[in-house]
Amino acid sequence: MKLWKTVRRFLPLSLLAFVLAGCGETNLTALDPKGPQSQWLFDNMLLSLYIMAFVTIVVFAIFFIILAKFRRNPGDDEIPKQVHGSTALEITWTVIPIILLTILAVPTITGTFMLADKEPDPEVGENTVSIKVTGHQFWWQFDYEKEGFTAGNDVYIPVGEKVIFELHAQDVQHSFWVPALGGKVDTIPGITNHLWLEADEPGVFKGKCAELCGSAHALMDFKVIALERDEYDAWVEGMTAEVPEPTETLAQQGRAVFEENSCIGCHATGGMGTAAGPALSNFGNRTTIANYLEHTPENLEAWIRDPKGLKQGAVMPAYPAMSDEDMEALIAYLESLTID
Ligand code: HEC
Ligand SMILES: [Cu+2]
């Protein structure tokens, strides 16, 4: 009785938690595929689900039929005849699973090769976009080596093309996962893994580190931004262009603050970045700060004054004593870093 009372008290709460668990995240789901990789994974998952459902239904149907048909009736005092070993039955329940497993194995094996393929996109050839990914505690570095620049925490790709990701890790093991576009692949220090993804439509697809990698693991998010090819090319051009002088005086002062406080030692504002911190070349375009804080001047100030307070274990030093004037100028400078 006591147990039932406890269950009754917590049941509505746990049901609510279950329902709400899907809220909040926009497209951090593998159940709404937006690319050929994730579509294949989804279809294969459904196939195994249907096979399992079929087995469950058949087994339970037989179970209940036998339960009803062979139950003990009044007057049945004798133990029924004991049978052991029926060749027909043995063959049946060996052959059926073999058939079912074969149905599962054929697409799984061909699909696994399809997913592991790291050849360039046949239609785009040598223009296939290839991005070097490095997982850090607790941010992602995206190097476009051929083009000669680093994108910060948002990775841009062209729509409808196979994009190759070359996966590395700087410190510990992380896992690169964009559920709407494909499967997850670990990034491991000293080892290079590969993954290709393709987006069927333009959009912003949320990604996450899927390997417990330290204190702020849960905040190690990123975004894949898929653009039409011409928009993508324009973005690449913006990222490779000379970094323009800030036009506003406040932003100009901010750049001096950025240099004096050695922010520049860890954060590139153009070209290839470093492994010390995310490149800020297009920071003004980002919708988040440190991948999870809403992008507002208040949050940006809070972040610069105390990064570890907002993201435990973040490697960036704190600047608690920066004057308000310097802070205002610095923020104006950071917001001026945009690519149209
Ligand atoms: C020792 C290297 C280092 C220095 C110096 C440093 N940062 Fe950082 N910064 C980092 C790292 C590492 C991160 C990523 C933290 C994370 O998300 O885990 C970061 C993140 C950021 C972000 C968020 C970037 C994004 O993609 O959302 C901003 C903005 C930023 N730093 C600004 C500054 C400014 C301004 C200064 C100077 C006042 C500065 N940083 C100094 C290492 C540094
Ligand atoms: Cu991680």
Q: What dihedral angle (degrees, nearest 10) is formed by the CA atoms of 116, 121, 127, 128? A: -30
* 151 in contact with ligand 1, CB cutoff 6 A: no
6 compared with 328, residue with greater pLDDT: 328
Which of 24-33, 152-161, 188-197 is predicted with the least confidence, judged by mean pLDDT? 24-33
Residue 95 CB burial class (10 angstroms; 0-12, 13-18, ≥19): exposed
Q: Minimum-distance ligand to the CA of 258?
A: 1
Report the residue among 316, 322, 330 best suited for mutation to probe ligand 1: largest number of ligand atoms under 8 A from its CB.
316
74 compared with 318, residue with greater pLDDT: 318
Identify the pLDDT of residue 184.
93
Identify the pLDDT of residue 204.
95
* 219 in contact with ligand 1, CB cutoff 6 A: no
Identify the pLDDT of residue 14.
66
Mean pLDDT, to the nearest integer, of 74-102? 88
Mean pLDDT, to the nearest integer, of 208-221? 95
* 273 in contact with ligand 1, CB cutoff 6 A: no
Cβ < 5 A residues, ion ligand 2: 174, 209, 213, 220
Identify the pLDDT of residue 20.
55
Q: Which residues contact 335 (CB under 8 A, 6 or more apart)?
A: 251, 283, 284, 297
Nearest to 146 by CA among 161, 166, 160, 162: 166
What's phi and psi for 101, nearest 5 deg?
-65, -35
Reduced to 3 states (helix: H, G, I; strand: E, B; else coil), residue 279 is coil
The β-bridge partners of 255 are: none
Report the residue among 138, 217, 266 best suited for mutation to probe ligand 1: largest number of ligand atoms under 8 A from its CB.
266
CA angle 130, 136, 142 (to 5 degrees): 20
pLDDT digits (tens, 9 = 90+) for 71-87: 888 888 888 777 788 89
Mean pLDDT, to the nearest integer, of 273-302? 94
Mean pLDDT, to the nearest integer, of 138-152? 95
Mean pLDDT, to the nearest integer, of 196-201? 96
Mean pLDDT, to the nearest integer, of 19-33? 70
Domains in the chain (CATH in brackets) are 26-71+83-240 (2.60.40.420), 249-336 (2.60.40.420)
Q: Which residues contact 264 (CB under 8 A, 6 or more apart)?
A: 258
Calculate the CA 213 to chain-centre distance. 14
Identify the pLDDT of residue 74.
85
User: pTM to 2 decimals?
Assistant: 0.87
Cα 194 to ligand 1 centre (Å): 28
Which of 5-14, 168-177, 321-330 is predicted with the least confidence, judged by mean pLDDT? 5-14
Mean pLDDT, to the nearest integer, of 94-118? 93
Closest ligand 1 atom to the C-alpha of 262?
5
The dihedral region occupied by 139, where left means phi > 0, alpha psi between -120 and 50, and beta the remainder, is beta
Identify the pLDDT of residue 18.
58
Nearest CA to ligand 1 atom 2: 266
Identify the pLDDT of residue 19.
57
Task: Write down the mean pLDDT value for the chain.
Answer: 91
Nearest CA to ligand 1 atom 24: 290
Amino acid identity at 135: G
Confidence band of 21 (pLDDT split at 50, 70, 90): low
